Structure formats: structure tokens, C-alpha cells
Structure 1
Amino acid sequence: MTNDIFDISDNTPLVLMKQLTRQKRARFMAKLEYMSPCFSHYCRVSGAIVRDAEERGAIHPGMTLVDWTFGTSGIALAMAAVSRGYKVLLAAPESICREKQEVLRALGAELVLTPSEALPGDLQSCVDVAENLVRTLPNAWFANMYQNPVSRQVHQDGTGPEIFRQTEGKVTHLFVPMASGAMISGIGRYFKSVNPEVQIIGVEPEGSVYGDLHGGKSQGTPSAFQLEDIGAVRPTSFWDPNVIDRIVQVSDADAFNCGRELLRAEAVFAGGASGAAMAAALREGEAYGDDALVVVMMTDFGGYDLSRMYNDDWMRRQGFYRKSKTALDQITADDILQRKAHKDLIFAQPEQTLAEVFETMKQNDVSQMPIVSFGAPIGSISENRILSILIENDSAMNAKVVAFMEKPFPVCQPDATISELSEKLQTNASGVLISLSDGRLQLINKSDLIDVLTRK
């Protein structure tokens, strides 16, 4: 039992990803920060900011806490504040998700919506409106979650050590969505102090400024993006390139669609910022080896994005919609090979004679074989082909098979879906070769597809 709901904001689950990462050598784990009372990583921060302000005597019940928000930070602040007797006044762009607006109003927060196109420095922007409200309202205090130093300290003292403990110190790469930069700078400072080899990778939308800044430009050039709770049009005081190894940008479409795939494939009900982080991790993780342990921060909740990211009509209007994979499309060549007994590929070499090849066929009870030269399939040979050759010329058994070979089997990658494999097999009934990452080849035939479909 706990006396304060915010006491359970720590120790969020760390879950192994299995479906989206089947073709990756590294292990990928999702840190479900949205599984907290506030459904976002801001839960850790909001409670700490309010407690810190109370301990310093900066606020007392009856005061109005003011801030600007893109939704989730405001929800977390409102949950921490109203339960302690504070009023909450928030400025937010009018474009934020309807669900976030409704939750804020349900919490009793007063919401001032500002023009979405107004950038900081414009008197109509949510940042400038919030700052002006603090100056003009009596008995008001600016929480300033995007700049409050408590925000970074919470992640340096809490989130970083928590990840280290949950992975038993084995984490090698951390992907963190960047908004204010408090989370990545706090986690980055912790890990650079205990293990500088851990790669701290920031994730932002295309159009955010951190990538330019990390690349050495004095000032990033922002452009519009649809993602919320990730990205920035100007850096905050938390910007600390010394603890960030890389910045990866992700398009709105890739972020939203990866978030939707997280729900379908892994039952992770996360938002667009989390989708961006996972999309970046999967893309970058193509090059990671077996020794890599990748942690991806899931910072926002999908339930706050039902009218946008999880709405097919909205996704279509924005040009982001991608058809979801069917259950069959989820089955890949790699899955089929995992079900088969591991055997070396039976193949012929071009310099072998027809007699040698035919003897290999008899010994292995196969009627057709690929012909492989230096690891590459260059053709094939079948019993029927050998028979027709001998009928015309019975002395050809000592001739090299390369002179009589037929067209090669089609080649696919391990991530080829069962639908793709079936289509290939319609034109070549003998089989499809799968090119493995170690250079070896494996064969899949129609019987293998039938076996996996009937779940024998």
C-alpha cells in the first residue's frame, strides 16, 4: 500500500520485444514509461517538481500552477497539483489531440488554446502566453517543466540507475525521444559516469532542431511536424551534446506506423513519440551484433492519440496510412526455417558430372538441386532434365552439369513473408532459396509452407 499515488511512478516495466525484432541479432527491450499513474514519463517529473516547490516554500495550496504543454506534461502536472489542492492553468497549441484536451478538462485544469503555427517569441505562442499569464495572475507560480532543473535530476538520479539495474548493467544502446531534452541529458549524465561505452541516442521528428545542433550548426532550422511530445523548435537549457552520442530523425509517417505496429505485434499501446523511438532503434539496430542490448524509451500513451495516430481516416488524410500486415504476412521465411530440422543445403557444383550429381540426388532422396558457385546460385538441375539428356545421349553422364543446367531457384531474404514465398513457388515448384546473414543458403519448398500453415 502507498499513501501517494506518485510513489508508484518508478520501476516501470522493461519488456523484451519479440515480433518486431525477429530479423535482428541484437536484443531490444521497451522501457514502458507510459505505464505510470499519468501514462507518461512526466509522471516522475511532475510529482518531484511539486514536492520540491513545496519544500522550498515556493507554493502552497490555493495557488495556481501555470505552464505550457503539448498535452502529456500538462496532464501529469495537473494530476500532481489538483490532488494537493492547487489550481492548474495551461497554455497549449490548439492542434493537440482531442483526448488530451478532454483529460485535462476532466482533471479540472483550465486550458488556454493558442494558434498552432505560433512559435516561441510570438506573443500568441503557448510558451509566451503561459509566461504572460504568470506575470499577470495573482498567486500564480510557473512550473516550467520544460526548463525546471528538477526534470533532469529526476532522470539522472532515478530513471538512469533504474535502467542499469533492470538490465544488470548490460545495456549497450539507449534510444530516447527528445522534447525538452531533460530525460536524455539526465539519463546520459548517469550512464556516462558509470559506463561511457553505453551509446545514448536521441530521437526527434524530421523538422526538429537537435540534429542540426548536434551536427555543429549554431542554430537548427525548424520545420513543421505532426508528432507531439517529441521534438523542439528551439533548444532548452537541458541541451547537453556531451552526453549524447547521436541524434536520429524519424518521419511522422514512420513514427505513427511503427507505433501502430507496436500495438499489433507486441501489445505495447504507446503513442507517436514512442513509435518514433522504436522506429529509430529498429533502423539503427540493423547493424548491431549479438552482444548488443538495446533499450527504447516508451514515453507516451496510445490512449491519448486515438483520434489521430490510431484513427485510419486521420492517417489517410495526412498521407501516413499504411496497410497493416495480415496474420499470414507476419510469418516469414525465418519463422519457417526455425521449424525445420537444421540441415546443410544439398547442392551441385558446376564442375561436377551428371553422374555425380545424379548419385547425390539418389542418396538424399531429392528430385532437383540448385547449382551453386562460390556461394551464389547460378542454376539448377532435375531428374527429369537428366533423363531427357540421357535419352538423347547416354554418354553424357560424364559431362559437366554446368552445360545442362536449368534456371536457378529464386532467392529471398529471411524477412520475406509467406505470401511472397508462395508467389515465388507458383512459378518454381521446386523451391525458394533463402540467403542467410552468414552467407549460407537454405531451401524452402511447398511442403514447408503447408507444414507451417497447418501447424504440424
Structure 2
Amino acid sequence: MWYNNILETIGNTPLVKLNIVTKPLKGTILAKIETTNPGNSIKDRMALKMIEDAEQAGLLKPGGTIIEGTSGNTGMGLAMAAVVKGYHCIFTTTDKQSKEKIDALRAFGAEVIVCPTNVDPEDPRSYYSVSSRLEKEVPNAWKANQYDNLSNTQAHYEQTGPEIWEQTEGKITHLVVGVGTGGTISGTAKYLKEMNPNIKVWGIDTYGSIFKKYKETGIFDKSEIYPYITEGIGEDFLPENVNFDVIDLFEKVTDKDAALMTRDLARKEGIFAGNSAGAAVAGLLQLGNELKDDDVVVVIFHDHGSRYMGKMYNEDWLRERGFLKDEKLTAKSILKRRANQDIVTVDVKQSVLETFNIMKSLNISQIPLTQQGMVVGKVTEADILNALLDNPSLKSAEVESIASKPFPFVDLNMSIDKISTLIDKDTQAVLVEDEFGRINIITQYDIISAISEI
């Protein structure tokens, strides 16, 4: 048996029991693994449905251009279908999205325009507004509009809901879904509640999004809106695809809990899933007291971990945001391991000879230069030697005349591996500001000493 094209492989994704991360919970917890779709996400379903409905309605014509504002996954589904069907694609996205998602879209031949995250949807710079403008400017263009295009919801009513019902033999008691456009949860929930009105539907939201408060109060509170890291869920407006009537409650999850659970899914369950899956499982754990022994819970795992290699699966990224403790050496742990050392600096106006004498008396081979208290450069023994070999009279010149670029500053949470990549024959140390605002220097010797103590 074979398929006529890649689009025919969309759907029929497996249900997999979670065993470790959900151990504290009662009931049976099943993950709907949408990464087995050809575009590695659940968005393949609705992308194809939106295109097919637009074709039937005469909105998308042969050789046309598909335009969409997308965080990556919907764009992937649209781009994949466009290749098969012969359309062009222009996507707008936000600068908080992972580089892997943007590169994947471009791999399919799509044009990607990156827009700022921290602006209102109505702002002409937002990825919503830019995509709407392009729809008017580009000839023979059609905007998919995944947020308000109800074909999004319909795809999950026709596919995802029936699949879950059949796979659980009608035993499902709870559906847990991270909510972004709202199509997945609304379409799936509508079908499942038609089959059994007692099924509970829990939407997972993030701090910085308006869904939870709107569901509970009916108030669109702009004070709830602020930037967040979690990708794929939450919004700062109300998409038409979010059907609040079929969602029983919303639970908010922090960026940290979502990121760490995403990582745990790979390490403890062997499931390489995306950020929204981590958020959904973290949210389920927060709601765990609601579950009983005979409950059957289905959690949607939207997309694949490969799109988050530079973020949730990158330990330096996690440390820089304070999400991960010092499991391995960092700038902070190196400072803790050695005795307190006051950094020695030289003002740029001191002479070359004075600087050399200070270095000699302290037995150091490099020293930062400051100007009005700010680090602006450095001088090494090699800098002084080379300068005096060229011109011995420079010994009385101001040291800034022979200065080289300053030592790089690093974050306290930067790993020793990353620090080591910054140190070479020209840069023999790095600077770091500690919790008290003091500048510290970390040299090659400090790194070697820290490693040898492990």
C-alpha cells in the first residue's frame, strides 16, 4: 500500500500512556502524539482543511499565494500542502518564536517575515497586521486566518475528536489541551461532548494571556497581558475559534514549569515533544486533585521537540532564565568555589609603565581598563611587549593607546562549556557581574581549577 502524496498521511495519530511524569495522578493519562503527522504537528490537520475549504469556496485560486500569521506549526502545514498543490506562501511570525520553526518554514520555500512580539495586535508592526496588509497588497492572495477561520475548529471536529473517541473506546473522561487559536480544543471538545456531555475539558493557559480570566469573569482585562516565553498557547485577544462554552475551565502554567516539564517528557517518558505539551502536562498536574482512579485523561501533544532545540532543550538557555539549577559548572558556581577576589583594574589614563608595574606586583598577565568606573578595554603582557618592541617611548604613554577590546561579559548562569568557547589566545578571561553588582574576572586558571575539583 502507498499514499498518493504526503497529505494523505495526516491524522490517525497514536495514543500513548504516560507512566513517570504523571505518577502522582490517579487515573490513566494518555498522550495524543500529534508529532507523527508529516509536518510533525497537529496543525497539519487544520491547515489542509482550511486550504480545501478555501478552494471549494473559490477563495484560493490556482497559482495563488497563501498568507498567514503563524508561530511556525500552522505555517509548516500550509507550506507542505502548498508544495503539493502548487501555491506560494508568505508567513509573518514573532521574534519570540524559535529559530528552528522559522528555518523549517523556509526549508519548504516559504517567505518568512519576523515581527516584534511586544506590540498590540492592532499595531501595524504586529504579525497579525502585517499579514492582513500583505493580503491586500499581494495579487491573487488568500489569508488563512487560523484564529478566526472556523475550518480550523471543523478539522478537529471531523478528525481529532472521532479518533480519540474510537481509540479510548468511548471511555475518555477528561480532555486537556493547550489553547492558542482555540481550534484544537473547541473542535475536539464539541465532538466529544456530543458523544458524552459529562466529559470534562480543561484548557491550559499561560501567565500573560487573557483566556482564564475571560472564561471566569467575561472581562477582557488588558492588565493580564504581558510578554511570556511559552510558545503555542495563550493570546492577547479573543480568536473566534475559541468556543468558551465547550471548555469547562482554564488553568495557567508558568513559563518555567512548562519548559521544565517539556524537558522531563523527553528524559522520563522518551517523548520528544514541544513546549505546549510540557505546559499541558504541568497544568494537568496542578489540577490532579480533581481526578479519580477510573478516569481516562487525554492530553494533546501538539508538536515536535526538534523545534525547540535552541530553547527548552538547551541547558544554557534554561540557566540564563533561572529555570535550571547548577547541575553543572556555571560562572556563578566557579565564583563560589574560589576565595573572594577583588578585581584589579587600571584607569585608561595611567601610563603603560605604571600598568605593567601593577601587573608585575600582583603577578597577573592581563588587566581590565576602566573609564569613569566602566570597563572599556583590557591590556595583556603581550600587548605591552609588542608595543614596547615597536616603540620603547610608549612606556610613558597613556595605557589606552595600546588597549585591546575588553573581556566579554557573561551571565552568572552561563555554563562552563559556553564560557570556554569565549576564551582563546586573544581573550584569556571573561567578566561577570555577581548578585551584589560587583564585577568579577574568570580566567583560564579559574576554569581549570574548577574542573579539576569535580
What is the TM-score with the length of structure 1 in the denominator? 0.69
Number of the residue aligned with 2:307: 304
Q: Which amino acid in the other structure matches residue 261 of structure 1?
A: D
Number of the residue aligned with 2:170: 169
Number of the residue aligned with 1:106: 107
Name the CA distance, whole Å, in 1 between partners of 2:62 and 2:249.
43
Number of the residue aligned with 1:16: 17
Pairing of 1:266-281 with structure 2 (within 5 A)? 266-281=269-284
SS at match of 1:279: helix
List gaps (5 residues or longer) in structure 2.
Answer: 329-454
Pairing of 1:25-424 with structure 2 (within 5 A)? 25-220=26-221, 221-322=224-325
> Alpha-carbon deviation of 1:324?
7.6
Name the CA distance, whole Å, in 1 between partners of 2:24 and 2:112.
45
2:46–2:152 contact (8 Å) kept in structure 1: yes
Q: Structure 1 residues 108 and 190, CA, compared in 2 at 3 Å: closer, same or farther?
A: same
Structure 1: which 4+ aligned runs deviate by more than 6 Å?
none
SS at match of 2:159: helix
SS at match of 1:111: strand
Number of the residue aligned with 1:374: none
List gaps (5 residues or longer) in structure 1.
Answer: 326-456
> Alpha-carbon deviation of 1:227?
1.1
SS at match of 1:234: coil
Name the CA distance, whole Å, in 2 between partners of 1:198 and 1:51.
31
> Alpha-carbon deviation of 1:133?
0.5
Name the CA distance, whole Å, in 2 between partners of 1:77 and 1:319.
36
1:6–1:44 contact (8 Å) kept in structure 2: no
Give the number of aligned pairs. Answer: 325
Number of the residue aligned with 1:404: none
Q: Which amino acid in the other structure matches residue 323 of structure 2?
A: F
Q: Deviations over 1:214-270 (max 9, x none)?
A: 111320331211111111111111222211111011001000100110001111111
Name the CA distance, whole Å, in 1 between partners of 2:49 and 2:141.
19
Name the CA distance, whole Å, in 2 between partners of 1:154 and 1:66.
19
Name the CA distance, whole Å, in 2 between partners of 1:165 and 1:59.
34
Number of the residue aligned with 2:377: none
1:26–1:285 contact (8 Å) kept in structure 2: no
> Alpha-carbon deviation of 1:323?
6.7
What is the TM-score with the length of structure 2 in the denominator? 0.70
Name the CA distance, whole Å, in 2 between partners of 1:322 and 1:42.
34
SS at match of 2:35: coil
Q: Structure 1 residues 174 and 323, CA, compared in 2 at 3 Å: closer, same or farther?
A: farther
1:205–1:251 contact (8 Å) kept in structure 2: yes
Q: Which amino acid in the other structure matches residue 88 of structure 2?
A: K
Name the CA distance, whole Å, in 2 between partners of 1:185 and 1:322.
38
Percent of residue pairs bearing the same amino acid type: 37
2:152–2:241 contact (8 Å) kept in structure 1: no
Name the CA distance, whole Å, in 1 between partners of 2:155 and 2:220.
28
2:29–2:299 contact (8 Å) kept in structure 1: yes
Q: Which amino acid in the other structure matches residue 238 of structure 2?
A: P
Name the CA distance, whole Å, in 1 between partners of 2:122 and 2:324.
34
> Alpha-carbon deviation of 1:23?
3.1
> Alpha-carbon deviation of 1:94?
2.0
Name the CA distance, whole Å, in 1 between partners of 2:284 and 2:131.
35
1:7 aligns with 2:3: no
